[in-house]
C-alpha cells in the first residue's frame, strides 16, 4: 500500500506541474486500476478531467535500451553464478567488472554452461594481465570468445581496500547518442501499444 500511495503522490505532482505548464485545471476523476470491472489491459493509473477534456496517466517501467530486460535476463542467468565461482580466484588487489558490448545478441542454441566456463577461464587468464590502476581508477581490456559475436570488456578497479578480488557483471555499454535514439524507439513502441486503450478510456 505504501508503494501505491507513493506512486499516486508522484502522479499528483506531475499533474500539478502539467496544469501549471499548460494553464489547465485537471482534477482527479478516477483511478481505473482500482475498479475490478475494468479490463486489465485498460487499468491505467488515473484519469483527470478539466471540463470536457480528459487526461490519462500511465505510470510504467520501460527498458533503458531495446530488448534490455530480455538480453540482461539471458546473461544474468548465464553469468550471474560467476560472482561466487570466481571468489578467491582473482588477484586480491582491486575488484573486477565485466561489461557486455552494446551489440550483444546471443546465438540460438548456445550451451550456457560451456559459455559460462569459457567466460570464467578468460576472466581468470586476463585478470592477471590487468595492471592494478591508481586509486579510484581502472584498467580495461577487450575479450572475444570463439563463436560469440560480441565483445566483453574486463576492467580492474582500485577502490583502496574495498571489494578486494570481487567480480561484478556490469550493465551494457552504450554511447549516449545511441541511448537517446533507442529511448525514442522504446517510448514510441510503448505509446503505440497503449494508445488504443487510452482512446477507449477517453471516449
Q: pLDDT per residue over 57-77, tens digit each?
A: 877 777 766 667 776 777 778
pLDDT of residue 102: 65
- Would you say the pTM of this structure is higher than 0.75? no
The tens digit of pLDDT for each residue in 120-133 reads: 999 998 888 888 88
The tens digit of pLDDT for each residue in 3-15 reads: 778 888 888 998 9
Where do we find the cell 583502496? 160
pLDDT of residue 1: 45
With pLDDT > 70 as the criterion, what percentage of the chain qualifies? 81
Contact 105, 74 (CB under 8 A): no
The tens digit of pLDDT for each residue in 147-197 reads: 787 788 899 888 877 778 888 876 655 555 677 777 778 777 777 766 655
Q: Is 23 left (phi over 0), alpha (psi -120 to 50) or beta?
A: left
Mean pLDDT of 23-28: 93
- Candidates 23, 36, 91, 30; CA nearest to 57 is 30
Residue 83 has pLDDT above 90, yes or no: no
Q: Between residues 96 and 36, which one has the greater pLDDT?
A: 96
pLDDT of residue 24: 93
**Whole-Å CA distances, 168 to 7, 111, 154, 156:** 31, 22, 10, 10
Instruction: Report the b/e string of 135-150 with b at 16+ CB within 10 A.
Output: eeebbeeebeeeebee
Where do we find the cell 476523476? 29
Amino acid at each position: 500500500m505504501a508503494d501505491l500511495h507513493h506512486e499516486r503522490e508522484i502522479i499528483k505532482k506531475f499533474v500539478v506541474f502539467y496544469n501549471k505548464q499548460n494553464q489547465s485545471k485537471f482534477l482527479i476523476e478516477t483511478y481505473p486500476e482500482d475498479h475490478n470491472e475494468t479490463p486489465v489491459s485498460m487499468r491505467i493509473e488515473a484519469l483527470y478531467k478539466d471540463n470536457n477534456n480528459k487526461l490519462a496517466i500511465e505510470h510504467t517501467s520501460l527498458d533503458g535500451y531495446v530488448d534490455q530486460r530480455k538480453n540482461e535476463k539471458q546473461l544474468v542467468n548465464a553469468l550471474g553464478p560467476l560472482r561466487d565461482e570466481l571468489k578467491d580466484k582473482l588477484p586480491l588487489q582491486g575488484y573486477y567488472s565485466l561489461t557486455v558490448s552494446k551489440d550483444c545478441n546471443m546465438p540460438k542454441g548456445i550451451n550456457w554452461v560451456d559459455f559460462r566456463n569459457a567466460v570464467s577461464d578468460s576472466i581468470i587468464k586476463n585478470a592477471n594481465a590487468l595492471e592494478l590502476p591508481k586509486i579510484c581508477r581502472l584498467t580495461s581490456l577487450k575479450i572475444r570468445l570463439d563463436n560469440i559475436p560480441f565483445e566483453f570488456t574486463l576492467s580492474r578497479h582500485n577502490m583502496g581496500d574495498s571489494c578486494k578480488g570481487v567480480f561484478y557483471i556490469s550493465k551494457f555499454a552504450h554511447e549516449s547518442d545511441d541511448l537517446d535514439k533507442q529511448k525514442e524507439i522504446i517510448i514510441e513502441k510503448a505509446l503505440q501499444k497503449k494508445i488504443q486503450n487510452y482512446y477507449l478510456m477517453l471516449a
